[in-house]
Each structure stands twice: as C-alpha cells, then as structure tokens.
Structure 1
Amino acid sequence: MSNSQVCHTFEAALEMAIEMENESFRHYLRGILIVRDKAARDILKEMALDELEHKYELEKALVEGSMGGEHQLNRPVPTMNLDYVLSKKDLAPDSGVREALAYAIHLEKNALDFYQRMAQGCAGAPMAELFRRIGNDESRHLQKLEDLYEAHFLSEN
C-alpha cells in the first residue's frame, strides 16, 4: 500500500510534506546550478525560495503542534493544466525561460498531485484538511507559473 492510500498522524503527515517541499527545493537548486540564462535562473530562484518558505511553515507547525489558519489556503485556485501540453525535460546549461517555466510547472503539478492523493487517503480524518490546504497553496504556485508562461509564450500579440 502506498503512502497516499493511508492516513498518517499529524507529525508523520508534516514530515512527509516537509520531505516533499525539500525534494522540490533540491530540484530547483540543481536547475539554478545548471542553467546559464539569468532570467531562467531568476525564475528557479524565486520558486526555490517559495519552497523554502513553505517548508519553514511546515516545520514551524511541526514544532508548534498545529497549522495556522491561512486564508489563502482555503480554496484551490484554477490552473490551465499546462503540464499536459508542455514536455517534461531536464534542464540543461542552455535552457531558457520557456524551459525553466515548463520545468517548474511540472514540479509544482507533481507536488499538487501528491497533496491531493494524501488528502484523499485521509478522507474523513483531520489530516485530510491539512493536505488539502497545502495542496491549495501548491495550486497557487502552479497558477503563478502558468500565468507567467501564458504572458510570455502564449500571448496573441
């Protein structure tokens, strides 16, 4: 049985979420170290810092024994599902903004899917709400990236 099919204690759930955020941060960090394009690195840096902030909030909740009631996490935000049309490729030294955004969109979509599966695995239990709220925050990150991609590469101008 996979981790997403069972419900966990508050502490175990937060540890899993922290690990997810840390893994995403490491992916962004590797991209920052590989990519030469400054604008692409800036996007990856911003997303890495978002992951660190998210991880910090989760670690803080672990220490305090509860999650705060952030209002922005109450609902998921709609996304365009660009991950379905953008190919998933590793970053290379010559990757530009388009590739960095596509890479980040896939990372955020993976995180969103993880949290949605965890929420479903805990349906009816208090932990489901925690995973749902974290997933909602991931949907906000994903929307931000998709909006950037749309503005730069899908405009009709």
Structure 2
Amino acid sequence: MSDQVCYTFEAAIEMAIQMEEEGFRNYLNSIRILKNKGAKEILRDSALDELNHKQELEKALLLGQMGNGDEMIRPVPTMNLGYILPKKELNPDSDGREALAYAIHLEKGAIDFYKKMSEGCAGAPNAALFQRLLADESRHLQSLEDLYEQHFMTEN
C-alpha cells in the first residue's frame, strides 16, 4: 500500500509555502544565535533563497499557476554531502563549515519533501509544479555543496 497523495493546486501551493516558511525560520533562528560573521552570511543567503521561493509560491497562489512553463524542471546532480556530513544543531560558536553543513541538510529536507510530493502526483498536472520546485531546491543544494567543496574539501 502506498502513502503517496496528490493535492489540489491550492493545497499543494499552501504546503510548499509552509515548507519554505519553516526553512526561512530555521535559518533566521540560527542566524540570531551565531557569532561567526561568515556563518551568518552563509545562512543569510540561504534564508533569502527561501524568501524568494515563498514569494514565487504566493504569487502562484494568487494567479492560479506557477511560472510560464519555460523553467527547467529537472533536478541537477548533487554530491549528496547530506549523507556524509553530520547533522547537528548550530550553537553560538558554530563556524562557517558547520553552518554550511546545516544549510545542506535543510535543503536536502526540502528536496525530499518536493520529491515525495512529485511522486505522489505522478501523471497529474501538479507533478510539474513539484518537479520545478524539486529542481529549484536541487540547484540551491548544488550551490551549497559547491561552496562546501571549494572551502572545506581540499585535495591532497
């Protein structure tokens, strides 16, 4: 028995808005406790991405559709660092590396959410909406992973 469900457009958008709002709040709460300027900057950029997503979703709710259909809807490949980096809460003394790992885990959670929603709507019109959101989140994750690789995965 499958637990996959496809929601109406409005319900799907409302759930996505809630998901983006929770992500934003997680980033904001972490920024408030951090002392490290670099760590705050990493999370601030990610929080702004969440706000932009939320605003797009709210516009879609008003207009009754998401985008013009020309957007890329395929997820981009990622390194899956979320599987190897430890998942832990941030504390005031967390550094940029820990903040980046935290952001990677938050984006991975969003990807898992949108993937589940997309699979639940396979064959339905809302599947494209969730595929687009999944693709957007995968691009965010790829950017974070690239940043992590650039700064913390030095070659020997």
Relative to the length of structure 2, the TM-score reads 0.96
Residues 1:118 and 2:117 are matched in the alignment: yes
Q: Which has the higher helix share?
A: 1
Partner of 2:13: 14
Q: How far apart, CA to CA, are the structure 1 residues paired with 2:97 and 2:150?
A: 11
User: Residues 120 and 128 of structure 1 are in contact (CA less than 8 Å); yes or no, is this contact kept in structure 2?
Assistant: yes
User: Residues 78 and 139 of structure 1 are in contact (CA less than 8 Å); yes or no, is this contact kept in structure 2?
Assistant: yes
The number of residue pairs the alignment matches comes to: 156
Paired AA for residue 137 in structure 2: E
Unpaired stretches in structure 2, ≥5 consecutive residues: none
Moved over 4 A (4+): none
Partner of 2:155: 156
What do the CA deviations read for 1:99-118 (whole angstroms, capped 9, x no partner)? Answer: 00000000000000100000
Question: Where do residues 53-72 of structure 1 align in structure 2 (5 Å cutoff)?
Answer: 53-69=52-68, 71-72=70-71
Partner of 1:106: 105
Unpaired stretches in structure 1, ≥5 consecutive residues: none
What value does the CA root-mean-square deviation take over the aligned residues?
1.6
Alpha carbons of structure 1 residues 145 and 68: separation in structure 2 relative to 1, 3 Å: same
Residues 1:88 and 2:66 are matched in the alignment: no
Please state whether the residue corresponding to 2:128 is helix, strand or coil. Answer: helix
Partner of 1:26: 25
User: Residues 73 and 134 of structure 1 are in contact (CA less than 8 Å); yes or no, is this contact kept in structure 2?
Assistant: no
Paired AA for residue 46 in structure 1: D
Alpha carbons of structure 1 residues 120 and 108: separation in structure 2 relative to 1, 3 Å: same
Partner of 1:145: 144
Q: How far apart, CA to CA, are the structure 2 residues paired with 1:143 and 1:93?
A: 26
Q: How far apart, CA to CA, are the structure 1 residues paired with 2:13 and 2:123?
A: 18
Q: How far apart, CA to CA, are the structure 1 residues paired with 2:155 and 2:103?
A: 23
What do the CA deviations read for 1:19-61 (whole angstroms, capped 9, x no partner)? Answer: 0000000000011001100000001000001000000000000
